[in-house]
Amino acid sequence: MHENDLIAPNRDVSFIKLNESLYMVVACDSCGGAGEKEKDVVKVPPYIVGRFTSRVALMETLSVGAAPKALTAAICNEPDPTGEGMLSGIREELKDVSLDLPLVISTEKNMKTYQTSLGITIIGIAEKQNLRVNRTMANDKLYCVGMPKVGDEIHLDDTEIATSLLVKELLKVPDIHDIIPVGSKGVEGEAQMLASFLGLRLNWKQNLPIDIQKTAGPSTCVLVTSPVELRISQPQPVWLLAEFM
């Protein structure tokens, strides 16, 4: 049974009820036009494409309280060197959060390609009692951790952007309610979608320090809701943006 009422619509994660206490969680992300091929718009190594595309799906899976169990990589390019570069990035991203998952891989062996493209799916398992969704309540504060960045602004060693490890660490912080990776909808889009889904509204702070309408690309920031002041040990900046009412 597919559970439509567990999470706000338009997020790249779905829940499938296996039994009364267990859910399968499926998250996905795609990347096109970034790579080293002739018609790529953003020029980056395939390794970087693999890192960031798998990172987004991994962050989505972890953020809802699921344990990743398998990863699929739909590599729309030749196995080598593009495919191998992507797979190297994928494996390194998993290693960053101490995961060694089964990989199901498909590559393009029939056609010559002129643009880099990758699709990632992660399948996870979550016990119902451990699901991290819809916990936000009135009077909770809305924080943004990390900076919205996209395209050439993004660098792997940038300590301002969110990572899979950040999400893993946020799950350990007491009093955090929801964790939402931000993508192309931007901070405002994700926040408003959550508030609307829960029947709440947002009271935004004045003179916000970040552009809440800007795309966050491959989830370079995450939203966190909590009734208390958010303190983290990771290097990413933390911004208080609003309060739920």
Q: How many CA atoms lie within 13 A of 109 on its CB side?
A: 4
Give the count of domains, the chain. 2
Q: What is the pLDDT of residues 215-224, one digit of tens each?
A: 999 999 999 9
One domain for residues 200 and 147? yes
- In three-state secondary structure terms, 70 is strand
Q: Specify whether the CB–CB gap between 116 and 82 falls below 8 A.
A: yes
Residue 82 lies in a domain: yes
Query: Which of the listed residues 100, 130, 160 is the one where a domain comes to its end?
Result: 130
Average pLDDT over residues 107-119: 97
Q: At what angle do helices 84-96 and 46-63 cross, to 10 degrees?
A: 40
Average pLDDT over residues 10-30: 89
Q: Which two tokens stand for residue 228?
A: 């208390």
- pLDDT grade for 5, boundaries at 50, 70 and 90: low
- pLDDT grade for 9, boundaries at 50, 70 and 90: low
Question: 2-11, 63-72, 138-147: lowest mean pLDDT where?
Answer: 2-11
For the domain that residue 123 is a member of, what is the CATH number? 3.30.1330.10
Domain that holds residue 195: 141-244
Where would I find the H helices in 129-233? 164-170, 186-197
- pLDDT grade for 1, boundaries at 50, 70 and 90: very low
One domain for residues 33 and 92? yes
Q: Say yes or no to pLDDT of 153 above 80.
A: yes
Q: Specify whether the CB–CB gap between 22 and 64 falls below 8 A.
A: no
Q: What is the pTM of this model?
A: 0.91
